[in-house]
Chains A and B, each alone.
Chain A
Amino acid sequence: EAGVTQFPSHSVIEKGQTVTLRCDPISGHDNLYWYRRVMGKEIKFLLHFVKESKQDESGMPNNRFLAERTGGTYSTLKVQPAELEDSGVYFCASSQGPRTGDTGELFFGEGSRLTVL
């Protein structure tokens, strides 16, 4: 079974440019999450999709970030325009739908490292 895949693994862009990160969750997983780790700090929650709907986007830092999940499958996270403080590693994770006793174990991708110069 394929795991969570993210693309690109590393992106270097200049301030003001646009970057789009993509995440393909594990097939059949309804829940998809985006997290970010900036400069060795803690991994912080950005948002949560249930299928194609945004369940919780309380962690999105500002309106320069736009996340979509087309048809409840893969997801994209666009940063436009990018700023220096957006540099970090963006992780995607997925989990199965809620059910009795579901612990919500998250399966993570390898992350997309974004460097904004």
Chain B
Amino acid sequence: AQSVTQLGSHVSVSEGALVLLRCNYSSSVPPYLFWYVQYPNQGLQLLLKYTTGATLVKGINGFEAEFKKSETSFHLTKPSAHMSDAAEYFCAGRGGSARQLTFGSGTQLTVLP
């Protein structure tokens, strides 16, 4: 069965610093992987997704993630944090014929001035 683990429920970075949010998955089949973001009082918004092909995936707002099969990881990065990046981030995946997503527990990102 698919499972997704996010390391760190809270991450704080300074404005302009590198953002790194960690996600590991476990699956017996090639997964589809997603990062979603939830801003306060809003729904979940897709940041980026990995399906097949290129392992480095670029998303919106300058975020990107790299699918590393050998490490079963799909970490989210952004070179320079902005105050507007403060939100909760969710890693999610699905494998094989499953249609529903399995979510990680979420990481709250705080950006310090």
Contacts and interface: CB of A to CB of B under 8 A. Distances in A.
Question: A and B bound?
Answer: yes
Contacts of A95: 99
A42 B99 contact: no
A33 interface: yes
Given A42-B106, A108-B36, A91 B99 contact: no
A91 B1 CA distance: 22
B63 interface: no
Contacts of B45: 108
B44 interface: yes
A109 to B, nearest CB: 5
B34 A4 contact: no
B44 A108 contact: yes
Contacts of B105: 40-42
A75 interface: no
Given A31-B99, A42-B106, A56-B100, A103 B43 contact: no
B63 to A, nearest CB: 16
B103 A44 contact: yes
Contacts of B43: 3-4, 91, 108-111
B55 interface: no
Contacts of A109: 43
B78 interface: no
B39 to A, nearest CB: 10
Closest 9 CB pairs of A and B: A108-B44, A110-B43, A43-B103, A42-B105, A45-B100, A108-B43, A103-B51, A42-B103, A109-B43
Interface of B: 9, 32, 34, 36, 41-46, 49, 51, 90, 92, 94, 99-106
